[in-house]
Amino acid sequence: MFGLNKKDTSLLLIVIVLTLFAPFILNPFPTGSGLAQFNAGYPDLMQRFAIFGIFAVGFNILFGLTGYLSFGHAAFLGVGSYSAVWMFKLLSMNVLPAIILSVIIAGLFALVIGYISLRRSGIYFSILTLAFAQMSFSLAYSVLTPITNGETGLQLTLDDPRVLGVTSTADGSIPVTNLFGIEMRSTYNLAVGPWDFQFNMGYYLCALVLIAAFYLSIRIFRSPFGMMLRAVKSNQQRMNYTGLNSKPYTLAAFVISGMYAGLAGGLMASMDPLAGAERMQWTASGEVVLMTILGGAGTLIGPVLGAGFIKYFENIFSKINDNILHSWFSFMPDGLEDFVVFLVHPFIGKGWHLTLGILFMLVVVFLPGGLVEGGQRIAGWVRGKKKPDAHQSETNPAE
Amino acid sequence: MSKTDVSRRGLLRTGAVTAGGLALPTIFTAQSASAFTNDPTGGTVTLGFNVPQTGAYADEGADELRAYQLAVEHLNGEGDGGMLNTFSSKALEGNGILGKKVEYVTGDTQTKSDAARASAKSMIEKDGAIMITGGSSSGVAVAVQGLCQEAGVIFMAGLTHSNDTTGKDKKANGFRHFFNAYMSAAALAPVLKNLYGSDRKAYHLTADYTWGWTQEESIKAATEALGWETVNTVKTPLAATDFSSYIAPVLNSGADVLVLNHYGGNMVNSLTNAVQFGLREKQVNGKNFEIVVPLYSRLMAKGAGENVKGIHGSTNWHWSLQDEGSKAFVRSFGTKYGFPPSQAAHTCYVQALLYADAVARGGSFNPCSVVEALEGFEFDGMGNGKTLYRAEDHQCFKDVLVVRGKENPTSEFDLLEVVEVTPREQVEYPVDHPMFAGGQLGSCNPGA
Amino acid sequence: MDAFLLQILNGLDKGSAYALIALGLTLIFGTLGVVNFAHGALFMIGAFCAVTVQKFLTLSVETIDPEKTDFLGNPLKVKTPYVENWFGPDIGNAIIDWSVPLAILFAIPIMIAVGFIMERGLIKHFYKRPHADQILVTFGLAIVLQEVIKYFYGANPIPTPAPEALNGVANLGAIVGLDLIYPVWRIVYFCFACLIISGVFAFLQFTTFGMVVRAGMADRETVGLLGINIDRRFTIMFGIAAAVAGLAGVMYTPINSPNYHMGMDFLVLSFVVVVVGGMGSLPGAVLAGFLLGILESFASMEWAINLIPGINQIIIYLVAIIILLVRPRGLMGRKGVMED
């Protein structure tokens, strides 16, 4: 189906089911219950899962296939966001032109940076991309403030000269982002018993884009072009000796993954029309590297899992506070309750970084292939330890 | 049963934006359960406390969170009531807000606009928070304020000192109790004149982002009005940790005052470096060289240790104030946590109470009713004397403190001493002041 | 002229910190082939060794002074450090005053131990793993280490002043008739850095141990075939690299008050320094450290900012790009190290 083999088709179908039913899957606990804290099925976080999924899938096209480790990919995401917000300010609140522009601009940006950076390989390449991204961040934060609005981030205002559309609505507010009239923020709430499921238009747009992006990445992985990129990774020298110039291929991969990042940035701005400079900082670039490795570099689904994992911890664990802990453990005797809360306390709320750090280490120590390997092990265990998945051959982590 | 967050208002807006757009499916226009976002229907009401819990301002955020927890206790009628006893408005009865028990959720802004908005959104979308408050930087405050305006909830800013928060980025749903750079300058200038005379040459080092710029602009204007000359203004990168290469040129610049427009870690490092280079002992033009830190934070000043001694700056509030409101707050905070509150804790505590009071006086959680109740509201007993929430820009006007690093501290908290309480009249400015120009308040948004 | 000299001094001073961190990073790269993202955290732990020593020395007995009151109106508790009680106020205060130099003695064994534990407990399992895995695990470790420090010491910077005697400024130019004053502690820091750097070089150059390690850096397999237990020596090198980063941290505390994320602030910069210097080259790392320090100082001068707005924000990265484009393997890099 769709020009994919059976295995890839089933993978794509899994992704489609997971994304389309995410509002149910991510909301397993009834709203009033103590465990509702762990629900992730609210629009903002679901959008983030999809957007960072796209970002990581794109990053993986470069890193997973060619082995080139870019430490500056966040710059493309940032550039994409800025272009999208400028589109909202100047043209129209429709997200389509904004997203298209952000992909184009990010692609051009990637072309320039990639052209220069790809003259070096290995860690020299990583540092070149890092340097470009850090320069973009520093300048966006300070000197380029007229374009980027610096520290505060680029926001919509009540006096934007919007060519197609109104400057402000009849009741004096800023118009909202939409796709041909469908507001990105409109949400349909479905209450089933004690559960409350939220279906958000913005999320479904992100989900559809994610599915398309994922499909495209499968096609790239399986194409002759993808094969060529893999050859670059396994032995670039041998490839050059056969008379092939590998640079156009790696540059194409770099630009494609830059455009994915721009797409993610454009979507991010479409869900929430703000573009901040921090999006380009090296920590943001590092985050997508971590997502990809954590999920399983070089695998198709891994980056999406890694993105979900990190965003989940950032948004869910940081919100658990002592009060919530006390309510969870209130069934225990007083002294014991306090003791348990005392034990758990360093790992939640302001300690969410600590939990994340520990999990990074655990995953990489025990699951060398990332979360994907964990999934395969569980699957293997469920199937009664049958022979390892044939998929394995393609899931070797990148170097 | 189903309810929807899309309102008639939202639909009207959509209609206005796109001519000939797709008609919405009917399920989106099903019954509108309430007139505004997150209308609390049960016996409780949820507030969202969005403070930095990781990153450089984590300690300040922790102090804000303590203040909020105290405020919730007092609103629910627990504890000793704190400032509720001294607050001039008596609408709050200690039974929650409008009889609903106050509950809260917390989140981490990470001092990044993106993360702060994500956290605030999850509070609004997932936890049903009716009001968002907190934060420790102007970038975050402006970003979250914009979000709250769009989402239709009230934003009560925490620590944010940039002129922009209630200047070009002001929003109808956002309110700031904290003072701003203009007020710092207006309060400091006369004191500086008395201390150092009107014939001075100032050298500015400024953090290179919007807050730093607004402060530099304000201080420069105020000191030049005294007759001071500004020798130079130099922008320093946010990421700078070692300021030696910015301090060294000061030595031979002919300046005799150094103004450090830095906050937090930047301020600790630049002040430490300035003292290292012997600037405090220096004589220039026959006068003692002086250093000024326009925005002081006691928590951060602690990091600079001995270096703050004798250095002047301004602050929103200090625990050593002796009015009844401050005393009551310091007592209940100190009894609960064992140390005195910071200015960030104070402004957050007051913001939480002011919000609750506005709901009680307006009789509704509807953001538009809250906005109406807060606009032009004049109150007392909250630690800064008579205070006005100005209707035109949602900025509080109150007395400002000029402080100095104490020479002989008696304890680790006793770092600053109040030099002067600058009265409110002296720090007021017209709404259309050029430093605040450019933005529009817009109209209040109750959301769906 | 004075301004230039001052900025050169500033640059050497900043460069000292960069060079020390980059030196350790290169040692680990070169010997073990590990990309250590936790190296900044080692610098930070060193700094907090100084904080801890200061905390220990100022452990106090509390006595109640009924004449004064605290902020709640209760009688004030006056704290007197134990060392003051034991040695009398004069000697006691002198000991507290010298807590940062004293911390060096404390930091060396601690940092070597931390290095050993890290290498034996974690890093050694990653020698054969891809660089990506090394990055993930060391980054995770860095987060854990800094969060642990934050849990105990808070997020705010903690003042750790230099001894009174080394706190002032010195007129360096007096000898040649120039007015060139510079903070004493920064001069101390520069000299200290030079001492450590030459110590490490001498160790590698003039001892048998160092010779084996250098041989191992060049060709690990052959050295192993010769029947030399290179692993144990590499463990020791990791300990030394940790100690170098830690000492850089201890001595840095009086320059800027330490906080829990100071390691991350230096991490990216020190990677840039190492790469600009050239992978696997110790002299390259040191040279690049000082070079970038000096360029950074020059770029913050007014004429530079007026010439190219924002140059002070990006100078290091700009220079890194130019150098890497002109010299493919950095200043002194060797062929084939970390190029794939």
Residue C340's pLDDT band, with cuts at 50, 70 and 90, is low
Asked if residue B233 and residue B291 are part of one domain, the reply reads yes
Q: Which of B9, B143, B147 sits opposite A152 (nearest CB)?
A: B143
Q: Which of C133, C321, C338 sits opposite A131 (nearest CB)?
A: C321
pTM of this structure: 0.90
pLDDT in tens, A353-399: 899 999 989 988 888 888 888 888 888 888 875 554 444 444 444 43
pLDDT in tens, C87-102: 887 888 888 888 899 9
Asked if residue B308 and residue B202 are part of one domain, the reply reads yes
B398 lies in a domain?
A: no
Q: What is the mean pLDDT of residues C112-118?
A: 94
Chosen from A318, A326, A353 to mutate, greatest number of chain B CBs within 10 A: A318
Residues C76-81: contacts with CB under 8 Å, at least 24 apart: C76/B410, C76/B411, C81/C57
Asked if residue B196 and residue B174 are part of one domain, the reply reads no
CA distance B394 to B355: 13
Residues A28-32: contacts with CB under 8 Å, at least 24 apart: A30/A193, A30/A194, A30/A195, A31/A194, A31/A195, A31/A196, A32/A194
CB pairs below 8 Å between B and C: how many?
124
Residue C218: predicted pLDDT = 76
Q: What is the CATH number of the domain that holds B213?
A: 3.40.50.2300
Q: Which of C154, C255, C257 sits opposite B59 (nearest CB)?
A: C154
CA distance C74 to C80: 19
Contact C144, C269 (CB under 8 A): no
B446 lies in a domain?
A: no
Structural domains counted in chain B? 3
CA distance A220 to A179: 28
Residue type present at position B255: A
Percentage of chain B lying above the pLDDT 90 cut? 61
Asked if residue B266 and residue B155 are part of one domain, the reply reads no
B15 lies in a domain?
A: yes
Asked if residue B87 and residue B156 are part of one domain, the reply reads yes
Average pLDDT, chain B: 87
Residue C48's pLDDT band, with cuts at 50, 70 and 90, is very high
Residue C4: Cβ-neighbour burial (10 angstroms; 0-12, 13-18, 19+): exposed
3-state secondary structure (DSSP) of residue B202? strand
Q: What is the mean pLDDT of residues A98-119?
A: 95
Rounded CA Rg of chain C: 22
Q: What is the mean pLDDT of residues B436-445?
A: 86
CA distance C119 to A266: 43
Asked if residue B157 and residue B118 are part of one domain, the reply reads yes
Answer positive or negative: Cα dihedral of A31, A35, A37, A40.
negative
Residue numbers of the domain that contains B244:
182-315
Q: Which residues contact B357 (CB under 8 A, 6 or more apart)?
A: B87, B89, B91, B92, B373
CA distance B215 to B235: 12
Q: What is the ipTM of this complex?
A: 0.90
Residue B351 CB neighbour total at 10 angstroms: 27
Residue B363: Cβ-neighbour burial (10 angstroms; 0-12, 13-18, 19+): exposed
CA distance C37 to C263: 10
Instruction: Write out the two tokens for A29.
Output: 């606990």
Asked if residue B187 and residue B171 are part of one domain, the reply reads no
Contact C234, C209 (CB under 8 A): no
Q: Which domains does chain A have, with CATH numbers?
A: 6-319+367-394 (1.10.3470)
Q: What is the mean pLDDT of residues A50-71?
A: 93
The answer, yes or no, to whether residue A337 has pLDDT greater than 90, is no
The answer, yes or no, to whether residue C1 has pLDDT greater than 80, is no
- Poorest-confidence range of A136-145, A211-220, A317-326, B311-320? A317-326
Instruction: Write out the two tokens for B272.
Output: 């430490």
Residue A304: predicted pLDDT = 92
The answer, yes or no, to whether residue B134 has pLDDT greater than 70, is yes
pLDDT in tens, C136-152: 899 899 999 999 999 99
The single residue listed with the structure tokens 């804290």 is A37
Question: How far off is chain C from A16, nearest CA to CA, in Å?
Answer: 29
CA distance C194 to B265: 28
Q: Do B277 and C183 touch (CB under 8 A)?
A: yes
Asked if residue B276 and residue B203 are part of one domain, the reply reads yes
B422 lies in a domain?
A: no
The answer, yes or no, to whether residue B239 has pLDDT greater than 70, is yes
pLDDT in tens, B77-104: 998 888 999 999 989 888 999 999 999 9
Residue A328's pLDDT band, with cuts at 50, 70 and 90, is confident
- The Cα-based distances of C245 to A124, A195, A227, C100 in angstroms read 23, 53, 43, 16
B408 lies in a domain?
A: no
B443 lies in a domain?
A: no
Residue C68: predicted pLDDT = 74
Q: Does C185 touch chain A (CB under 8 A)?
A: no
Phi, psi of B50 (to 5 degrees): -110, 95
Asked if residue B230 and residue B166 are part of one domain, the reply reads no
Asked if residue B144 and residue B56 are part of one domain, the reply reads yes
The single residue listed with the structure tokens 């209760």 is C74
Instruction: Write out the two tokens for A350.
Output: 């302001």
Of chain B residues 91-150, which have a CB less than 8 A from chain A?
A: 104-108, 112-115, 117-119, 121-123, 125-126, 137-139, 142-143, 146-147, 149-150
B447 lies in a domain?
A: no
Asked if residue B303 and residue B196 are part of one domain, the reply reads yes
CA distance A298 to A295: 9
CA distance B439 to B442: 9
3-state secondary structure (DSSP) of residue C170? strand
The secondary element (H helix, E strand) that includes residue B154 is strand B154-157
Instruction: Write out the two tokens for A42.
Output: 């609210």
CA distance C237 to C129: 20
Asked if residue B226 and residue B160 are part of one domain, the reply reads no
CA distance B21 to B19: 6
Q: Do C339 and A122 touch (CB under 8 A)?
A: yes
The answer, yes or no, to whether residue A258 has pLDDT greater than 60, is yes
CA distance B241 to B266: 7
Among residues B315, B347, B375, which one ends one of the domains? B315
Q: Do C268 and A134 touch (CB under 8 A)?
A: yes
Chosen from B4, B6, B68, B113 to mutate, greatest number of chain A CBs within 10 A: B113
